[in-house]
Each structure stands twice: as structure tokens, then as C-alpha cells.
């Protein structure tokens, strides 16, 4: 375990369902991220939050809705998804500062999403 | 925009031998960080090694070392005395030093197989 916990690990949903992915870290990190990892594609950054404020939305469709209620928790709300949204969704966090650990991403194990 | 290129989709190495994974990147910045991350079949991505661009000395971490050529924008990873547990997908990543909570750009990854 890296200290970043993602739930659920697996999720199957229909295109009309509404579900949420959860990410939690108690590492004292200020920044949290959602990445999408699809087969045969590079990691795609979706959203960045710094001290609870969204600083990056990488042209993600509105059917993905992030929420960051505090620096330790990050959600990804899903609704009316498409089959091509099936992927591994990775949450990551990173600490502030410029020491040797700064800027390093700590990843969760991922949530494997299948959209039917 | 920065790009990261890993030209080897797959690599194979015999146990106890040495293997080098290639990575090149493109940037106009002078201060940045480079990383190698490892994603084993269990999916949780972890940091292997980190290099700060302003440091000329190549980073090393036990059996893992890098060859950082700033002028050539090259950042290769050398794994010595390969072990079965080194089998994983390896990602090269770039992050600007200017960006306090910004995005890391990843390469497409190299799948490393270790043969017993």
C-alpha cells in the first residue's frame, strides 16, 4: 500500500447509471490528481486539485465530474458514461515543497471501470 | 507543450543481466524533474527513480540508475542484476519545476519481461 486508497477497485455500470470513485490520502499532500489509463494509450491527466482548488481540467467531458471536499479526499462522479470510458482510473497525490520527495506522484491501486 | 517518448514498447532481459530502457523528451524549459515509475501487474504504480534537471550527477537507487543527457534530452533507465520482480511496465515522466501542483507528462510505457 502506498498511502493512497481508491475505492471501489472494480466497478461495472450501465450507461444510464450514476456512480462515484473515491480516493483518499493521509500523507499530508496538497495536490491530488485523476488519471485515466486505457489499453494501448498513454496515461491521460484528467483533473488536478491543489489545496482543494481545481487547477487543471484537461478537456474532460462533463459526464466526469470531480469533487475535492478537502485536501485528503477526491471523488470522481460518473454519469451517462460511454463504453469507451471503460478504463483504469488512477488517483495520485503529491506533496508541496522542493525537497527530494517533492513533485513525486504517489498513486493508488486504481479503479477498474467497465461501462456496459 | 512537453512530450515524452519511449521508443521501446517491449523489452526482455535474462535474470541477473542488465537492461536499459530509453526515454527522450522535448521541452523548452531549463528546470524540470524527470522520473521513472514502475507499474507491476498488480497495477499500483510506484516511483523508481527521480532526477532533477539542474543536477549533473546521474541519480542512482540500488540496482537502478539513469543516464541523464540534458543537451540530448535523453533519460534512460538502467536496471542491473535484473530480478523477476522487476517485470512490470515502466513509465518515463516529465514535470516542470515551475509548476507547483501541475501535471506530469508520461510516455507510453515499456513493458519489461524478465526471463528466469
Q: What does the pLDDT read at residue A15?
A: 87
Greater confidence (A87 vs A100) lies with A87
What's the half-sphere exposure (Cβ side, CA atoms, 13 Å) at B42? 9
Q: What residues in B contact A30, CB-CB < 8 Å?
A: 101
Cβ–Cβ under 8 Å, residues A7 and A22: yes
Range B8-37 average pLDDT: 96
Phi, psi of A85 (to 5 degrees): -85, -5
Q: A61-68: which pairs have CB atoms within 8 A and are 24 or more residues apart? A: A66/A34, A68/A32
Q: Give, in order, the Cα–Cα distances in Å from A102 to each of A10, A99, B49, B74.
A: 30, 5, 13, 22
Select the residue from A3, A105, A111 to test the B interface by mutation, using most B Cβ atoms within 10 A.
A105
Q: What residues in B contact A106, CB-CB < 8 Å?
A: 47
Intra-chain end-to-end CA distance of chain A, in Å = 30
User: Does B33 contact chain A (CB < 8 Å)?
Assistant: yes
Whether residue B101 and residue A50 make contact (CB cut-off 8 A), yes or no, is yes
Instruction: Kindly report, residue by residue over A52-97, the tens digit of the pLDDT.
Output: 788 777 789 999 999 999 989 999 999 999 999 999 999 999 887 6
What's the half-sphere exposure (Cβ side, CA atoms, 13 Å) at A33? 26
Q: What does the pLDDT read at residue A97?
A: 65
Q: What does the pLDDT read at residue A47?
A: 93
Say if residue A99's pLDDT is above 80: no
Range A34-40 average pLDDT: 90
Q: What does the pLDDT read at residue A101?
A: 64
Distance from CA of A85 to the nearest CA of B (A): 18
Whether residue A104 and residue B100 make contact (CB cut-off 8 A), yes or no, is no
Q: What does the pLDDT read at residue A18?
A: 93
Q: What cell was used for A48?
A: 488536478
B 65-104: CB under 8 A from A: 91, 93, 95, 97, 100-104
What percent of chain A has a predicted confidence (pLDDT) above 90? 64
The whole-chain average pLDDT of chain A stands at 89
The whole-chain average pLDDT of chain B stands at 93
Amino acid at each position: 500500500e502506498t498511502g493512497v486508497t481508491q475505492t471501489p477497485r472494480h466497478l461495472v455500470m450501465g450507461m444510464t447509471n450514476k456512480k462515484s470513485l473515491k480516493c483518499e490520502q493521509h500523507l499530508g499532500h496538497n495536490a491530488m490528481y485523476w488519471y485515466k489509463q486505457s489499453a494501448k494509450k498513454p496515461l491521460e491527466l484528467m483533473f488536478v486539485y491543489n489545496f482543494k482548488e481545481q487547477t487543471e481540467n484537461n478537456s474532460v467531458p462533463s459526464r466526469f465530474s470531480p469533487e475535492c471536499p478537502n485536501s485528503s479526499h477526491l471523488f470522481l462522479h460518473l454519469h451517462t458514461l460511454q463504453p469507451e470510458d471503460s478504463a483504469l482510473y488512477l488517483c495520485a497525490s503529491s506533496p508541496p515543497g522542493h525537497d527530494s520527495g517533492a513533485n513525486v506522484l504517489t498513486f493508488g491501486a486504481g479503479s477498474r471501470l467497465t461501462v456496459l | 507543450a512537453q512530450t515524452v517518448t519511449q521508443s521501446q514498447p517491449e523489452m526482455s532481459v535474462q535474470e541477473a543481466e542488465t537492461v536499459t530502457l530509453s526515454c527522450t523528451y522535448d521541452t523548452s524549459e531549463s528546470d524540470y524533474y524527470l522520473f521513472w515509475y514502475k507499474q507491476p501487474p498488480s497495477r499500483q504504480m510506484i516511483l523508481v527513480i527521480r532526477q532533477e534537471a539542474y543536477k549533473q550527477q546521474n541519480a542512482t537507487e540500488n540496482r537502478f540508475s539513469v543516464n541523464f543527457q540534458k543537451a540530448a534530452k535523453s533519460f534512460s533507465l538502467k536496471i542491473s542484476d535484473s530480478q523477476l520482480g522487476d517485470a512490470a511496465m515502466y513509465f518515463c515522466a516529465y514535470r516542470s519545476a515551475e509548476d507547483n501542483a501541475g501535471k506530469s507528462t508520461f510516455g507510453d510505457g515499456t513493458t519489461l519481461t524478465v526471463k528466469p
